[in-house]
Amino acid sequence: MIQGYWHPQGSAERFVATFEINDLGRYAIVFEDKTAYRGDASDLKVSDRLGNVYRKITLEDGSAFTTLDNDAIDLLFKHQQKTNALVHYLETHMRWIAVALIVAVATGFSFFKWGVPWTSEKIAQALPYETNRLIAKGSMKFLDKAMFDESNLTKVQKDEIRLHFEQKIARLSIEDEDEIRYKIYFRSWTMGGSEIPNALALPSGEIILTDKFIQLASNQDEIDAVMLHEMGHVVHRHGLEMLIEGTFITVAVMMMTGDASGMGDMGVGLGSALVSSSYSRKHEAEADLYAFNKMLKAKIDPKSFSNIMQSMMDYMAKENNETKKDDKKGYLDYFASHPTTQTRIDLANHYSKCFKQGLTTCK
C-alpha cells in the first residue's frame, strides 16, 4: 500500500489516499472514509522519476495520485519503467554523472567544432545560387555605412582594372559557376588614421578592393592573384557557409541559455559578419588552390600571390607597431593575424615552379 494524495481533474484540492494493485491487475485508491476509486492498471500513466519530487500517476478520467514513495512506484511498475530506472540509476551515482558530463561536453564540442561546419557546408552547397544574391542584398550599403569611404583612385585606374578583370579574369570562373555575375567595387578603408589594404567578396560575386591594396600592388598580376582568391571564396560559397554557421551557433546558444534577446542580432546581415569574422583556414586553403590553378591557366605566376600578401603583411605589421608605440590598442592586430602562414607562401612558390615549367596543372 502506497501513501499519497488524490487530486481531482482541474482542481487544486487534494485528498489523503492510499494506492495499491492486486494480482488481477486492478488498482484501488482508498480514501480516509474507506471509499475507493478502482480501475484497470493498464490504463494508468506513470510519470518519470526525477530526483525525489512527487511521482504522478494519471488515471483514465484525468485525476491523479501523487506520492513521494518513488521506490515503491518503481517496484510496482518495474516492467513499464525500464528506461526511467536506468536514468534514475545514472543520476544517483556520481561516477556515471561524471561520465555523462564528459560525454555531454565532448558531444557539444564535437557539434560546434565539426558538426556545424560540416552541416553549414552541405546546406550552402545545396542551396540555389539565387540564395547568394538574396543574402548579400543590402550588404554593400551596410559596409559603406560601417566601414568604407569613397575611393580616391582615379576613374582611369578603376576603368583599367575593371576592363582587365572582365576580359581576362572573370571568364576563368565560367566553367565553375556560370551564374555568378562579378562586379568590382573600389573603396577607401581607414582605421585609426591608417589605410587598410584588403580585398573581400560577397557571396553574390561583388568584389571590394581597397585603395591601399591597389597602391601596394606592384603590378597587375598581384591584383589578379588576390581577385582570383576572392573568386575562390565566391565559387566555394564560403560567405554563405559562414553566415549559416553563425546562425546555427546563435540559435544553439539561445536554445541552451533560453535567452531569445539575441534573435534580433541575426538580422544584422552578411556585412556585419564580414566585419567581425574571418574565413577558416580550410576556406582560405580552398580559395588559395582555386586561385593558383586559375593562375596557371591564365599564365600568371602564382609567386605574385605570395608577393602581394607579404607586402600587405609587412605594411600592416609596421602600422600596428606604430599604434602600439603611441600607447594605443593595436587595432590592426586582427588584420595582422590573417592566416598568411608560411605554408600558404610555400604552396604559392610550389605552384610558381609548375608555372615556370610551363605546366597548366600542378600536384
pLDDT value for 278: 59
Q: What cell does 90 get?
A: 545514472
Reading across the β-sheet that carries 15-21, which strands appear in turn?
A: 36-40, 26-31, 15-21, 2-7, 64-67, 55-58, 45-46
Q: In whole angstroms, give the CA distance from residue 153 to residue 187.
A: 9
pLDDT value for 258: 55
Domains of the chain: 2-77 (2.30.29), 114-356 (no CATH)
Residue 348 has pLDDT above 60, yes or no: yes
pLDDT value for 167: 93
Residue 185 has pLDDT above 80, yes or no: yes
Residue 336 has pLDDT above 50, yes or no: no
Q: What cell does 194 get?
A: 591608417
Residue 3 has pLDDT above 90, yes or no: yes
Q: What is the pLDDT of residues 256-292, one digit of tens each?
A: 555 544 444 443 444 444 444 457 788 899 999 999 9
Mean pLDDT in residue range 224-253? 83
Sign of the alpha-carbon dihedral angle for 74, 76, 77, 83: positive
How high is the mean pLDDT of the chain? 81
Residue 213 has pLDDT above 50, yes or no: yes
Mean pLDDT in residue range 157-165? 96
Q: What cell does 329 get?
A: 590598442
Cβ neighbors of 343 (< 8 A, separation 6 or more) are none
The one-letter amino acid code at 70 reads: N
DSSP string, 118-179: HHHHHHHHHS-THHHHHHHTTHHHHHHHHTEEE--S-HHHHHHHHHHIIIIIGGGGTTT-TT
- Strand 206-210 to 183-191 pairing: parallel
pLDDT value for 218: 95
What's this model's pTM, rounded to 2 decimal places?
A: 0.65
